[in-house]
């Protein structure tokens, strides 16, 4: 609560200042480009500001996009957000409205939390249900507050486009923005926000500055999503509603796409995947390549006009990603093009060495798969495998007639005396006692030597002919008269015969 | 019984009339007499018989051929049944000797009891379930080796309604899922001691088998999650949760809101359950018939009592081990008027006044368990006897203050009394037994540790309580041969007798015991006077003897054991520990008793390792449980131990 209030206060303090709109923008620039910050642009030297006008713009745009992607429980919040994102011109009164709404909302939430605290001591009856409901309420409210907050900030950023100037800004404010707003946002929003921050820090050589975020988002997705190869590309572009004609379409040739290297040394001809690596390589060719200027990332010529957005087309005719397709969906970056082309139009030459069934055309996909391969030990009768038992059971619950399959290696060898052997040995169809008993005993004695001097197996198994055994000296003992009525009807109604079996203590 | 002269008239009766007469015969012995009259009667028997419990498997093929109309087959007493036997039965046994219709006997079979059939495995089970298309009920309890494969085999019986899988130790969620998906008509399922089952399996079961009326998950490590799933079962009537350590009051909250048809719930020995949990259950189910909460309540709280006021239909309540006040009895008796059974075993605070208040209104009580309620006296017993005229079962073990006065009241008013447990009530004497013997319906009498009774007291029982089938005389040192004579003259139906430590009993006494033809369980530990002669008399006379415990009968010689080996063909369990049995006699006993399943053979003073080895070899095909002297573990050949293990025999080393 305290944190939220502080955020709110600080925003209120800051927003009425006229210059704050530019501040936001430049803060971002600082954040991205300042080598002293946590970002990892070690090889880079101070870039000119102008180049990043566009960055900011797209960032704000992407920010909004990402917000939309945030899983939301509340439809109204979504609407609100979209409304907010539509605001083109910065309207201070609208901003004030937003902020006072936020203030109200926070107060409401505060009251609710007070209520919860007060109730905690009393309620014993059904603590779980109520608490869960309350928690959900609080979470929902918090989420809506955070989203509102960010969308307010977002509207501010989008308005920057018009009022942009080369104004510099203080690092202190930068810290305020970066340090307060983002970290205080709920986890759910972090999902949407952080890829941008992380993206900026990871890619050392984006094809052009515009694509930093999307490129990275894509790359990350590649690692996370394994199975749905095409889907991740689409995911990355979800929400991008560029109108046809507002961007430049580039189409690389097949050979260009499949070429292992895209950057070549002009001196020795060695190829590299990344131009940063090429620059590192160039240092070996002489001192002139060691200057900060030579090692710096080459940038586009700075201009005040926004550069045209570039999008890519797949060279494969008939593909949805091909520019001639009716429902053409452009690819965002060269990396997207490469992965798309390999996955969709090339042979899957990488085979998983563990399962020998899964094939991939992108090696990163194989590596991702190998991490999880062999862990699918839960098998359904339909052939689907699951890495987790609860997933299998969920599947079985859902589909009529599916059952879990029992792995075949657990099959135990059936005990001696199974059908075939036993039936063959019983010669007579007329099934009398002796033939039955002998067949059973033959089968059993094949695996174990029970007789202990008794040659006649029948004698052992038949309780009626014990005297055939060679226990010397027992013949003298008087044999009981054969009680036919008792032994040949050796069954009893279970009701009348109450044999309770004693189990061991 | 039918006389010879009238037999012509009887034979002229039509078949359907004979069938009707046959169906009126309740006792097995009567039916046996019936079928021995003539061929025609025997034919009626074989045509009409629906149920068969087989004791000796060697006769199974003949019996199956003889009774074509079987609906229920009980093989639980056949230790030797395995996949091979099943295969033979299905391929060889048809209705006629040369009939091509194989396995015909199985077509109409609805119920199959395979309890303790440890020799059976999934292939045999699969054959059986395939051969019996009408199968509705299967009992595979205590088949400890059964697991998922066996469950998969069972799941092909799609019409299955009742399934008992108690102690199928290898069963996991996967097997349960097989059954849940395959047998969706399941109404009754018992999963006691299937320790591998988790919430996931129970959840799936509750989603797939929505017709479940009876579910027992006692002793499982399931949590409240399972109760959440179970609560969705609309038809559930009986829920067993005995000794589930992980469930608690929160889980019972789900039951409060679910299971609208619940009638019976058992939460006894659930460590996590307290009276607030029971309040939920009681609040949600006003029509509860049976509440089993033994050993989970420390106290019958007033809040719970307040809720119990609404249980007007409650018939059975067990709150063993709880503290209970006199006013609680008042509340129970005022509200639960239809109470039939109350269990107060080891309850603290049970007083004469409390009992008097209880029985003042609960006059329908039939079963009353007051075990270890030490403070009750003749006053309480008199009140019970006076109010509850239909009392059937009274357990007052360790109630030392009960004397002949109380028993006098019981003998005067409770003439329907069938079972009374007076173990360790030292106030009971011959006079008391005389009064008690007026209860002529008495069938179960426990007098263990009642040292004040003598032959005279027993003679009253022997002459009046002719229906007795269970008698416990453990450590009744006053009992001698004369008492047993009186007993054997009257109590011809005696099936279970405990004579342990009745030192005065000699061979003459055992000769009287030999007259009890129905006797199946005999415990006679440490009878130092008896010899082989006495044992022979028992073996010859008690043909139905199935369980014999003669630990510490050191004077019994080989002649007695030989007699046992020849005559006691129905013996299933035997305890020969500390007996002077020789190697030869041991081999005879173990080898010749074809129904023997369990033997305790510890400290056999006259036997050698070789003798034990040979004896084990002689019975290894059918023995299921054996207790042996621990050092023998290293002296017996590994081969025999492996064979025993392979046959599913459990060895306990002592």
> According to the 3-state scheme, what is the secondary structure of B207-237?
HHCCCCCEEECCCCCCCHHHHHHHCCCCCCC
Quick one: which H or E segment has residue B310?
Answer: none
3-state secondary structure at position B633: helix
> Which residues of chain A make contact with B53, given a CB cutoff of 8 A?
491-494, 497
pLDDT for position B32: 86
Å between B380 CA and nearest CA of chain A: 33
- Those residues with Cβ within 8 angstroms of residue B5's Cβ, 6 or more apart along the chain or in another chain: none
The tokens of A427 are what? 């010669």
Show which of residues 535-554 on chain B sit within 8 Å of chain A, judged by CB atoms: 540, 543-544, 546-547
Å between B159 CA and nearest CA of chain A: 15
Say how far apart CA A184 and CA B106 lie, in whole Å.
72
Say how far apart CA A444 and CA B567 lie, in whole Å.
26
Q: What is the pLDDT along chain A (505 residues), one digit of tens a residue?
A: 444 454 445 444 444 444 434 344 444 444 444 444 443 443 344 444 444 444 444 444 444 444 434 344 444 444 544 544 444 456 777 778 888 888 888 888 888 888 877 776 555 555 567 777 778 888 888 888 888 888 777 766 655 544 444 343 333 344 334 333 333 333 443 444 344 443 333 333 434 433 333 344 344 433 433 344 344 444 444 446 677 777 888 888 888 888 878 788 888 888 888 888 888 888 888 888 888 877 787 765 555 556 778 888 888 888 888 888 888 888 888 888 888 998 888 888 888 888 888 888 888 888 888 887 777 688 898 888 888 889 899 999 999 889 998 876 444 433 433 333 333 333 333 333 333 333 333 333 333 333 333 333 333 333 333 333 333 333 334 444 433 333 333 333 333 333 334 333 3
Mean pLDDT over residues B568-575, rounded? Answer: 93
Q: Does B196 touch chain A (CB under 8 A)?
A: no
pLDDT for position A128: 67
Say how far apart CA B74 and CA B141 lie, in whole Å.
12
Asked if the Cβ–Cβ distance from A419 to B253 is below 8 Å, we say no
Rounded to 10°, the helix B199-208/B173-182 angle is 0
Show which of residues 27-56 on chain B sit within 8 Å of chain A, judged by CB atoms: 27-29, 31-32, 35-36, 51-56
3-state secondary structure at position B356: helix
Å between B408 CA and nearest CA of chain A: 31
pLDDT for position A303: 55
Distances (CA, A) of B306 to A125, A239, B331, B363, B520: 16, 61, 8, 22, 48
Q: Which CATH class is domain B516-653?
A: alpha beta
pLDDT for position B169: 93
Asked if the Cβ–Cβ distance from B646 to A474 is below 8 Å, we say no
Q: Does B470 touch chain A (CB under 8 A)?
A: no
pLDDT for position B5: 52
Say how far apart CA A82 and CA B84 lie, in whole Å.
74
Question: Around A281, how many Cα atoms within 13 Å sit in the side-chain half-sphere?
Answer: 16
Mean pLDDT over residues B269-284, rounded? Answer: 93
Contact B204, B173 (CB under 8 A): yes
Q: For the domain B56-86+104-515, what is the CATH superfamily, name and number?
A: Ribonuclease Inhibitor (3.80.10.10)
Asked if the Cβ–Cβ distance from B58 to A437 is below 8 Å, we say yes
Asked if the Cβ–Cβ distance from A466 to B123 is below 8 Å, we say no
Q: For domain B10-46, which architecture applies? A: Up-down Bundle (1.20)
The answer, yes or no, to whether ipTM is higher than 0.95 is: no
pLDDT for position B478: 93
Please determine whether the domains at B10-46 and B516-653 fall in the same fold group of CATH: no
Contact B547, B570 (CB under 8 A): no
Of residues B246 and B647, which shows the higher confidence score?
Answer: B246
Query: Percent of chain B having pLDDT more than 90?
Result: 76
| pLDDT (tens digit per residue) in B88-134 | 888 876 544 444 455 678 888 999 999 988 888 899 999 999 999 99
Asked if the Cβ–Cβ distance from B59 to A433 is below 8 Å, we say yes
Among A431, A489, A496, whose Cβ lies nearest the Cβ of B93? A431
pLDDT for position B20: 87
Lowest mean pLDDT among A478-482, B30-34, B460-464: A478-482
Give the residue on B whose Cα is nearest the Cα of A400: B181
Asked if the Cβ–Cβ distance from B28 to A496 is below 8 Å, we say yes
- Those residues with Cβ within 8 angstroms of residue B364's Cβ, 6 or more apart along the chain or in another chain: B337, B338, B339, B340, B388, B390
> Which residues of chain B make contact with A451, given a CB cutoff of 8 A?
617
Q: How confident is the model at residue B7 (pLDDT cuts 50, 70, 90)?
A: low
Mean pLDDT over residues B414-439, rounded? Answer: 95
Q: Does B163 touch chain A (CB under 8 A)?
A: no
Å between A488 CA and nearest CA of chain B: 7
| pLDDT (tens digit per residue) in B42-66 | 888 888 888 999 888 888 888 888 8
Among A393, A449, A490, whose Cβ lies nearest the Cβ of B56? A490
Asked if the Cβ–Cβ distance from A415 to B646 is below 8 Å, we say yes
| pLDDT (tens digit per residue) in B361-390 | 999 999 999 999 999 999 999 999 999 999
Structural domain spans, chain B: 10-46, 56-86+104-515, 516-653
Query: Percent of chain B having pLDDT more than 70?
Result: 96
Q: Does B207 touch chain A (CB under 8 A)?
A: yes
Å between A143 CA and nearest CA of chain B: 29
Q: How confident is the model at residue B283 (pLDDT cuts 50, 70, 90)?
A: very high
> Which residues of chain A make contact with B28, given a CB cutoff of 8 A?
492-493, 495-497
């Amino acid at each position: 609560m305290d944190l939220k209030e502080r955020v709110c206060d600080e925003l209120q303090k800051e927003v009425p200042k006229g210059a704050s709109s530019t501040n936001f923008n430049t803060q971002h620039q600082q954040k991205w480009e300042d080598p002293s910050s946590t970002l990892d642009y070690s090889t880079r030297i101070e870039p000119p500001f102008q180049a990043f006008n566009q960055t900011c713009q797209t960032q704000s745009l992407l920010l909004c996009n990402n917000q939309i992607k945030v899983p939301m429980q509340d439809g109204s919040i979504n609407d609100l957000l979209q409304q907010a994102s539509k605001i083109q011109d910065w309207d201070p009164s609208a901003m004030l409205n937003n902020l006072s709404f936020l203030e109200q909302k926070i107060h409401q939430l505060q009251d609710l939390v007070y209520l919860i605290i007060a109730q905690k001591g009393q309620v014993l009856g059904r603590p779980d249900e109520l608490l869960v409901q309350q928690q959900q309420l609080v979470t929902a409210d918090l989420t809506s507050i955070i989203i509102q907050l960010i969308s307010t900030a977002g509207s501010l950023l989008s308005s920057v486009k018009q009022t942009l100037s080369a104004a510099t800004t203080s690092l202190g404010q930068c810290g305020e923005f970066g340090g307060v707003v983002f970290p205080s946002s709920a986890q759910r929003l972090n999902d949407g926000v952080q890829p941008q921050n992380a993206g900026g820090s990871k890619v050392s050589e984006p094809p052009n500055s515009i694509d930093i975020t999307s490129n990275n988002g894509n790359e990350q997705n590649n690692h996370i999503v394994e199975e749905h190869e095409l889907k991740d590309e689409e995911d990355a572009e979800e929400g991008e509603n560029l109108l046809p004609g507002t961007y430049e379409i580039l189409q690389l040739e097949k050979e260009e796409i499949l070429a292992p290297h895209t950057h070549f040394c002009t001196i020795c001809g060695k190829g590299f995947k990344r131009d940063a690596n090429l620059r590192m390589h160039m240092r070996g060719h002489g001192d002139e390549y060691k200057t900060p200027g030579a090692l710096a990332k080459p940038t586009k010529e700075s201009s005040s006009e926004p550069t045209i957005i570039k999008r890519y087309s797949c060279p494969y005719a008939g593909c949805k990603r091909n520019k001639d397709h009716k429902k053409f969906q452009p690819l965002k970056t060269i990396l997207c093009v490469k992965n798309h082309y390999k996955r969709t139009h090339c042979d899957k030459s990488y085979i998983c060495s563990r399962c020998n069934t899964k094939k991939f055309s992108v090696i990163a996909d194989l590596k991702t798969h190998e991490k999880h391969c062999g862990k699918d030990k839960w098998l359904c009768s339909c052939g689907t495998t699951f890495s987790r038992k609860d997933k299998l059971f969920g599947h079985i619950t859902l589909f009529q007639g599916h059952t879990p399959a029992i792995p075949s290696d657990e099959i135990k060898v059936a005990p001696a005396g199974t059908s075939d052997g036993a039936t063959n040995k019983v010669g007579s169809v007329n099934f009398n006692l002796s033939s039955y008993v002998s067949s059973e005993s033959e089968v059993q004695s094949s695996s174990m030597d029970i007789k202990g001097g008794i040659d006649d197996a029948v004698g052992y198994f038949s309780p009626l002919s014990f005297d055939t055994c060679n226990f010397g000296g027992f013949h003298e003992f008087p044999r009981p008269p054969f009680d036919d009525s008792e032994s040949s009807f050796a069954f009893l109604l279970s009701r009348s015969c109450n044999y309770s079996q004693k189990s061991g203590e | 019984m039918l006389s010879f002269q009238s037999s012509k008239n009887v034979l002229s009766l039509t078949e359907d009339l004979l069938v009707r007469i046959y169906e009126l015969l309740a006792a097995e012995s009567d039916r046996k007499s019936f079928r021995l009259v003539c061929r025609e009667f025997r034919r009626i028997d074989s045509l009409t018989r629906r149920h068969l419990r087989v004791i000796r498997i060697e006769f199974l093929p003949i019996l199956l051929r003889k009774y074509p109309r079987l609906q229920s087959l009980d093989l639980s007493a056949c230790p030797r049944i395995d996949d091979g036997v099943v295969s033979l039965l299905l391929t060889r046994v048809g209705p006629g000797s040369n009939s091509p219709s194989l396995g015909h006997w199985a077509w109409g079979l609805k119920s199959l009891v395979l309890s303790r059939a440890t020799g059976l495995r999934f292939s045999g089970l699969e054959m059986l379930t395939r051969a019996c298309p009408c199968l509705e009920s299967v009992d595979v309890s205590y088949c400890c080796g059964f697991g998922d494969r066996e469950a998969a085999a069972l799941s092909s019986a799609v019409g299955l309604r009742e399934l008992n899988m108690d102690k199928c130790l290898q069963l996991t969620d996967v097997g349960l899922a097989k059954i849940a998906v395959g047998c969706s008509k399941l109404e009754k399922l018992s999963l006691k001691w299937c320790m591998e089952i988790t919430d996931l399996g129970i959840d799936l079961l509750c989603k797939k088998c929505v017709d479940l009326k009876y579910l027992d998950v006692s002793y499982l490590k399931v949590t409240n999650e399972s109760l959440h799933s179970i609560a969705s079962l609309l038809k559930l009537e009986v829920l067993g949760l005995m000794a589930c350590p992980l469930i608690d009051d929160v889980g019972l909250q789900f039951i409060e809101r679910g299971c609208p048809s619940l009638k019976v719930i058992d939460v006894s020995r659930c460590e996590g359950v307290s009276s607030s949990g029971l309040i939920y259950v009681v609040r949600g189910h006003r029509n509860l018939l049976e509440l089993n909460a033994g050993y989970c309540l420390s106290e019958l709280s007033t809040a719970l009592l307040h809720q119990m006021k609404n249980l007007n239909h409650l018939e059975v309540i067990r709150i063993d081990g709880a503290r209970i006040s006199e006013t609680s009895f008042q509340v129970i008796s005022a509200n639960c008027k239809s109470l039939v059974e109350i269990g107060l075993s080891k309850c603290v605070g049970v007083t004469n006044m409390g009992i008097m208040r209880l029985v003042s209104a609960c006059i329908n009580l039939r079963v009353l368990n007051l075990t270890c309620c030490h403070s009750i006296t003749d006053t309480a017993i008199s009140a019970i006897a006076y109010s509850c005229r239909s009392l059937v079962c009274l357990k007052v073990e360790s109630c030392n203050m009960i004397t002949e006065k109380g028993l006098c009241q019981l003998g005067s008013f409770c003439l329907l009394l069938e079972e009374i447990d007076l173990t360790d009530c030292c106030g009971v004497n011959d006079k008391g037994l005389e009064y008690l013997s007026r209860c002529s319906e008495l069938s179960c009498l426990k007098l263990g540790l009642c040292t004040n009774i003598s032959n005279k007291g027993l003679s009253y029982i022997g002459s009046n309580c002719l229906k007795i089938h269970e008698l416990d005389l453990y450590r009744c040192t006053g009992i001698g041969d004369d008492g047993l004579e009186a007993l054997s003259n009257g109590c011809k139906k005696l099936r279970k007798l405990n004579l342990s430590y009745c030192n005065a009993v000699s061979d003459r006494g055992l000769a009287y015991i030999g007259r009890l033809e129905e006797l199946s369980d005999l415990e006679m530990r440490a009878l130092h006077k008896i010899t082989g002669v006495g044992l022979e008399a028992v073996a010859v006379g008690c043909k139905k003897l199935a369980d014999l415990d003669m630990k510490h009968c050191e004077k019994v010689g080989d002649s007695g054991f030989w007699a046992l080996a020849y005559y006691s063909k129905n013996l299933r369990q035997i305890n020969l520990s500390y007996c002077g049995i020789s190697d030869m006699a041991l081999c005879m006993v173990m080898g010749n008793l074809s129904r023997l399943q369990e033997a305790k053979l510890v400290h056999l003073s006259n036997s050698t390792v070789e003798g034990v080895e040979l004896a084990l070899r002689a019975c290894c095909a059918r023995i299921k449980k054996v207790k042996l002297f621990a050092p023998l573990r290293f002296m017996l050949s590994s081969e025999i131990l492996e064979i025993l293990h392979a046959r599913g025999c459990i060895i306990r080393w002592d």
